[in-house]
Structures are given as C-alpha cells and as structure tokens.
Amino acid sequence: MNVEIITQEQIDNRAYWIDQISILSGNFRADAEKVEDEIDKEIKNKGINALLGHLRLCSAIPERYGHDTGEEKLYSKYTDIVIHEAYLSMGFNSVVLKERADVADVECLNDDYSFVADAKAFRLSRTAKNQKDFKVQAMDSWKYGKPYAMIVCPVYQLPSLTSQIYQQASVRSVCIGTYTHLAVLVRYAEENSKKSAMELVLEVFKAVEAMNPSKEAADYWQIVNRLILDFDKNIGNLWQEEKRASMESIYFKERGPRLLGFGA
C-alpha cells in the first residue's frame, strides 16, 4: 500500500507518545495534566499537522499496555485531550474535565451553543463490542443542561450494519462521530474559517436530533456525511484525503504493529 497522507513525522510522534504515556508518576491527575500541557505546546509549536497526526493514529489502545492499568487509563485521557485540541482548533472554548466518573470528559462552547464530548478507543484485539461500549445513553445523562453531546470513535470499530447506538443517537441527541470527521473539520477550520466549521458542527447536531430513529448504520451515516459534504464544495477533497488517511492508519496497525506500538 502506498502511504500518501500520514507522514513519517506523525508516525514517529505516535511512537514517542506511546512511550511517554508509559512513564507514570503514580498520580493520575498530575500525569494527565502533564500530557495535556505537552500536547498543547506541541501543537502550538508544530501546527495543524501535529494535531492531524494524533487524530489519524490515536484510535487504538496499544496492546503493550496491560488491561485496566495506569497506562491504559492515561491513554484514554490522552484521546480526550486530542479531541479537546481539535475543538480548540475549530474555535470552540474547550476544557478537559478533571472528574473521572459519571461525567463527560470534554466540555465545549461558543457564543451560540454548547456540548459535551467523549473520545473512544479500543484495542485492535477486541473485536466483540456492544452498545454499552459506546455509552450513548450515558452521554445523554452527562449533558447537565447542555443541548448536545458528541462521541468520537474509531471509524473502523463502529457497527457497519445495524446497532442500537444509531437509534439511541437520534432519540437522545447524541452525535456519533469519528476521528476522521474531526480531522476534516480541523482542516476545514484552517483552510476556510473557524466560524464556518463551528456552524457545520451545529448543523450536524441538528441533523442528528431531527433523524427518524433507526438502527441502520447506512441511514445514520448517509444523513451525517451528506450534510457535511453539501455544506461546502471544498470539503469533498478533505473528506477523500482523510478517508485515505484512515485506511493508511489501519494498514499501519495491521502491518506495522511494532512500529506504532499496537503489538508486542
């Protein structure tokens, strides 16, 4: 497979962060704040390509991390930090919440609306997942007065045919998105305007809210993806490139597990 989108610098940075997350102080809150501070500085210094690298490659938990360990928990917080940085780059005021139970992990707002968000990552070795893994219903209860919520998932780990999560999303006004969608929105904000990107996010929330409840994945994604593509003709090229980047990331995870830390 020819690699055209993901850069060697992004691959190297992925390997760096897999190692950094393994260096634990024993204080989860301090470790999480350190990761957030360092990633924020990295993106400010290196720009949008650093953020895109995280979005393209962060969606799988490294297999070298033990189950339910400090590494795995800190990695989960790392993915929340990544989506937080994506929202910041779009123009939202965003904060990573410090609480760890019964709340969403990211809170965003602008002058017009607000929402909560949560990032999902899974091990490649874990193929069996159910609706509770995506926590759509939980996200609804974690809005705390905010009108919308977004769950950001690996595109290749979402149910491709039918699932209750799509029905729950429309009933509860919880948007299911992917890291690929966020990468497109980040690039659109950079190349067009932050205002337009935030307007598009609101239109996606409204579209999910207005959907007829259905368990069909095709029904859900046809509405969401068509709205995004129709919003601005320039988004089509960004969408095509980020879909290729998603395929490249799967290639790395399947063919190069040692390189990216996905295998032993």
pLDDT band of 100, cuts 50, 70, 90: low
The CATH code for residues 8-258 is: 3.40.91.70
Over residues 66-94, the mean pLDDT reads: 96
Is 8's pLDDT higher than 70? yes
Q: Give residue 258's pLDDT.
A: 47
CB 252 within 8 A of CB 259: yes
CB 192 within 8 A of CB 234: yes
Q: What is the mean pLDDT of the chain?
A: 90
The reported pTM is 0.93
pLDDT band of 21, cuts 50, 70, 90: very high
The Cβ-side half-sphere exposure at 179, using a 13 Å CA radius, reads: 32
Neighbours of 257 (CB within 10 A): 17
DSSP labels, 175-212: EEEEHHHHHHHHHHHHHT-HHHHHHHHHHHHHHHHHSP
pLDDT tens digits for range 245-261: 998 887 765 555 444 44
Q: Give residue 101's pLDDT.
A: 65
Which ranges of the chain would DSSP assign to H, the alpha helix?
8-21, 28-46, 48-57, 70-90, 136-141, 164-172, 179-191, 194-210, 217-231, 235-255, 257-260
Highest mean pLDDT pick, 59-68, 138-147, 152-161, 190-199:
190-199
